[in-house]
Chains A and B, each alone.
Chain A
Amino acid sequence: MSTGTLLTRTTLMKDLRLEWRSKDAINSMLFFALLVVVIFSFSFDPTAEESRRIAGGLVWVAFLFAAVVALNQTWARELRNQVLDAYRVSPAPANSLFLAKALGNFIFVAVLEALMTPLFIVFYNLRAVGPAYQLFAVALLGTWALVVNGTFFAAISLRTRSREIMLPLLLFPISIPALLAMVEATSSILTGEFSAKFWIVLLAAYDVVFTMASLFLFELVLNAE
């Protein structure tokens, strides 16, 4: 195993173990997403037909807001005891560190989605009219689109004042095309009125472009003085 993959695996396992023992991020994300579901549910009180139309937007907005919680603590944790400085002076490749963090966030958000989706189905009486298996592709690509940029921008907002507020301010404008694609794809699958193909391809393109850009620029951001 090369040094890079070893570093990725070690950091990822460390983050997962930390999260498993504290459950800080996942608990607050879950509760936050639950609040969004409940509040939206009784402020709109939609019928099954309506909720199929709006559920795509609701689900992804809830996940996006909840994901910020996990993203914000990505690097903040490494500031204690100057762990981040230790990463910077070590000869380990910066991109392996980035990949570990992005994968960790991906797992957190994916767990959140897996736990919240049944609740959405219950509260909004959802049933997919279109091909439901495509929802997996949308969730997979969409979650990666959120966390890859989120992990990168968390590293940027770490260097600013009031960093917790800065992350959504940077992340949301850039994520607009990805969010639009996720929402539209989910709605078209749920209503079965349109094909979601275009949106899935767009999401894949978004993922490729920003994964490349993040890997290309992360070392500069990590070492910024």
Chain B
Amino acid sequence: MKRAFPILAVVTLALLGYSAYEALVVAPTDRLQGDVYRIIYYHVPSAWTMFTFFAINFVASVIYLIRRNLKADAVAVAAAEMGVVFNTVVLVTGPLWARPVWGIWWTWDIRLTSTLVLWLIYVSYLLLRRFSSGGQMPLLAATLAVFGALDMPLVYFSIWFFRTQHPQPVVGGGGSIDPRMLHIWLLNWFAFECFGLLVFWWRYRLEMMRREVEETQELESLLETRSPR
């Protein structure tokens, strides 16, 4: 498994380079927006990848609550961190696009606001993990993840009551898109998922190693107190 990492890293890098080339050079320019629209090749795939990781975090948290499996907890923390990274990318690229197209950086629209609330909830999740220690931390974090997941539909409904300004989803939402654009879009999504999963896997390994080191240190200090030299 460890030897597979450099190979996968090279493949992912090539994929990212190819999809960036496709998005910036090959993709046709939008008739209305011009070249500004190309940011959606990063914005939307990041949003989808973010949802993948938050879903992984939720499933891992539930598994931890049921089984008390420490591997599930390591998966949960790695997924939450990756989710927050992609969430930040979404929140930064969105205003960059909105300023020239809408004329404003930010608006309290349903998708924008719920993405921001999602970010807030998961940052508080990571803060909780940082500020608590010991064996109880995974359990506390898992309960917070469940609360956050329960909160999201309510967040969505509460903001849904306001007017929506964000463009309707063009994929599966009845909108129309040039098939070439769609093709490059999906390619970018695939590349982002590969990149995200690769880093996620590495982060998970790091977390497991960190725990092993901690356990060994604890064991050593225990042995030292038992047998004074």
By a beta-carbon cutoff of 8 Å, the part of chain A in contact with chain B is 149, 152, 156, 159-162, 166, 169-170, 172-174, 176-178, 180-181, 184, 198-199, 202, 205-206, 209-210, 213, 217, 220-221, 224-225
Q: B residues within 8 A CB of A177? A: 151, 154-155, 157-159
Interface residues of B in 109-153 (CB under 8 A from A): 117, 120-121, 123-124, 127-128, 131-133, 135-137, 139-140, 143-144, 146-148, 150-151
Q: Looking at chain B's contact residues, is the secondary structure mostly helix, strand, loop, or mixed?
A: helix
With an 8 Å Cβ cutoff, the count of chain B residues facing the other chain is 29
Which of A166, A169, A202, A221 sits near B143, CB closer than 8 Å? A221
Q: List 9 A-B contacts (CB under 8 A).
A: A156-B128, A160-B132, A169-B124, A169-B128, A173-B120, A174-B124, A176-B151, A176-B155, A202-B154
Which of B135, B136, B144 sits near A170, CB closer than 8 Å? B144
Which of B117, B120, B143, B155 sits near A156, CB closer than 8 Å? B143
Q: How far is the CB of B221 from chain A (nearest CB, A)?
A: 20
Q: Are A209 and B127 in contact (CB under 8 A)?
A: no
Q: Are B154 and A161 in contact (CB under 8 A)?
A: no
Q: Are B140 and A156 in contact (CB under 8 A)?
A: yes
Closest residue of B by beta carbon distance from A170 = B124
By a beta-carbon cutoff of 8 Å, the part of chain B in contact with chain A is 65, 117, 120-121, 123-124, 127-128, 131-133, 135-137, 139-140, 143-144, 146-148, 150-151, 154-155, 157-159, 161
Q: Are B157 and A174 in contact (CB under 8 A)?
A: no
Total cross-chain contacts (CB, 8 A): 85
Q: A residues within 8 A CB of B65? A: 217, 220
Q: A residues within 8 A CB of B121? A: 173-174
Q: How far is the CB of B169 from chain A (nearest CB, A)?
A: 22
- Nearest 4 pairs of A and B residues by beta carbon: A224-B136, A173-B120, A177-B158, A177-B154
Which of B140, B150, B157 sits near A159, CB closer than 8 Å? B140
Q: A residues within 8 A CB of B159? A: 177, 180
